[in-house]
Amino acid sequence: MKKNITLEEAKELIKKLEKENKEMKEELEMFRSRDWGGRRKHDATWMKSYESFVELYEKGLNMHEIVEKVPFSQRTCYRYKSYYDSLKKGKD
């Protein structure tokens, strides 16, 4: 059985739902703009760091020498080397 509602009750319900909708849109926007962390592959910072690695690597420095000269970890150097090798392999 349907309950009959008055015009005033309908207007109040619409206001309530519009308010709830606005709050949910704000929450959704917060999640959309949230920084989820993690490594950003190939952004400007990454490319600058990678290019400094490539420059030293192509000069003939070994991994330990590169790690001493750059501000990133040994693991990052090996990650860059792996990426560098995959690019070189693709060109052959």
pLDDT, tens digit, 9 for 90 and up, residues 29-77: 888 887 767 766 778 888 999 999 999 999 999 999 999 999 989 999 9
CA dist list (Å): 73 to 41, 49, 58: 16, 11, 18
The length of the chain in residues reads: 92
Does some domain include residue 20?
yes
pTM for this one? 0.55
Is 50 found in the same domain as 28?
A: no
Is 86 found in the same domain as 56?
A: yes
Number of domains in the chain: 2
Residue 92's pLDDT is what?
57
Is 30 found in the same domain as 2?
A: yes
Is 24 found in the same domain as 57?
A: no
Does some domain include residue 61?
yes
For residue 27, what are the domain limits? 1-34
Does some domain include residue 39?
no
Residues 35-44: b if buried by 16+ CB within 10 A, e if exposed? eeeeeeeeee
Does some domain include residue 79?
yes
Residue 13's pLDDT is what?
93
Is 86 found in the same domain as 48?
A: yes
Is 22 found in the same domain as 53?
A: no
Is 3 found in the same domain as 23?
A: yes
